[in-house]
């Protein structure tokens, strides 16, 4: 009788190894059916894998069927010269360790009911969590809990810091350490003709309020001339910049949310102590803070 080439060389060993591998896969599947819902508590998208597996496992137990992996293992063992076994995987491997008697129809029903009950509890918790998140309105004080007294004291005692950032003066009024990471407030003092190159922020939005001077703001591909008292919003992901087109230095108050980008200004200031930093160094530093410089417009 014809036998596979591998069997002629290795004998029945490959079939025995495949049978053992089938046992491991089968045991892992049973464990996933019973306890996989715990993964859903941590990673809700795991439900897309676990729910079909749980439905199949429950159907096997309540229907009194045999999982297709069981006859597969039996066939591999027979071809490997070992005896197969009757009944199902649970009866042969799991029940001897859990129950003194062999698998009965009542036991199968109990196992199926336990799987249903366990997963009903787990998915009930998941659904309740999702409803709570949808029904709650995010509030700044919940995201970054800071006592009001502490916040007021920090603002009152905070001394602005002036930083040298490529010809502009960046005055930090409030940094992320004082706001729990919610936002940072900086003042940008720019000489005539000055201003940052066009750029894109990947991590934060910016809101500008013009205190003094005449400026032109770029948002996307459109330039707009603004005067003191004007407000401009630069959302993350949108190219923007401004330039001082007046005869005197301009002053712009900027609010960055969330905080964190003020540390870029601090690092540039430290580099500037040894002389103007080269453009490539600024580009690499900006990339670490989610800042991308664009060609001049």
Residue ranges of domains in the chain: 5-135, 153-293
Q: pLDDT tens for residues 176-194?
A: 988 889 999 999 999 999 9
- Grouping H, G, I as helix, E, B as strand and the rest as coil, residue 199 is strand
Q: Is the pLDDT of residue 195 over 70?
A: yes
Q: What is the mean pLDDT of the chain?
A: 78
29-43, 178-192, 239-253, range with the lowest pLDDT: 29-43
33-42, 161-170, 196-205, 223-232, range with the lowest pLDDT: 33-42
Q: Which DSSP helix (H) or strand (E) runs through 61?
A: helix 47-63
Q: pLDDT tens for residues 86-96?
A: 555 444 555 45
pTM of the model: 0.50
Q: What DSSP designation does 273 have? A: T
Residues forming a β-bridge with 201: 291
Q: What is the CATH topology of the domain spanning 153-293?
A: Jelly Rolls (2.60.120)
Which tokens go with 203? 């991590």
- Which residues, in sequence order, are CB contacts of 109 under 8 Å at separation 6+? 61, 62
Q: Is the pLDDT of residue 228 over 60?
A: yes
């Amino acid at each position: 009788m014809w036998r596979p080439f591998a069997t002629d060389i290795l004998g029945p060993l490959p079939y025995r190894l495949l049978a053992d591998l089938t046992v491991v896969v089968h045991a892992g599947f049973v464990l996933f059916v019973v306890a996989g819902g715990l993964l859903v508590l941590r990673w809700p998208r795991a439900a897309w894998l676990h729910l079909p597996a749980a439905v199949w496992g429950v159907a096997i137990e309540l229907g009194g069927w045999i999982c297709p992996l069981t006859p597969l293992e039996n066939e591999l063992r027979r071809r490997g010269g070992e005896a197969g076994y009757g009944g199902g995987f649970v009866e042969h491997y799991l029940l001897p360790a859990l129950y003194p008697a062999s698998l009965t129809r009542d036991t199968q029903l109990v196992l199926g009911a336990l799987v249903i009950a366990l997963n009903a509890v787990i998915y009930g918790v998941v659904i309740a969590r999702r409803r709570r998140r949808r029904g709650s309105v995010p509030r700044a004080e919940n995201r970054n809990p800071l006592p009001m007294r502490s916040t007021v004291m920090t603002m009152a005692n905070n001394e602005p810091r002036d930083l040298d950032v490529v010809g502009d003066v960046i005055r930090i009024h409030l940094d992320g350490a004082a706001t729990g990471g919610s936002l940072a407030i900086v003042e940008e003092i720019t000489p005539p003709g000055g201003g940052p190159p066009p750029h894109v922020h990947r991590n934060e939005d910016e809101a500008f309020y013009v205190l003094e001077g005449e400026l032109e703001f770029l948002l996307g591909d459109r330039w707009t001339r603004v005067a003191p008292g004007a407000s401009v919003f630069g959302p993350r992901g949108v190219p923007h910049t401004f330039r001082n087109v007046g005869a005197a230095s301009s002053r712009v108050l900027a609010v960055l949310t969330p905080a964190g980008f003020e540390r870029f200004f601090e690092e540039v200031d430290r580099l500037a102590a040894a002389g103007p930093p080269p453009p490539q160094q600024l580009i690499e530093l900006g990339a670490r803070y989610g800042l991308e410089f664009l060609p001049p417009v």
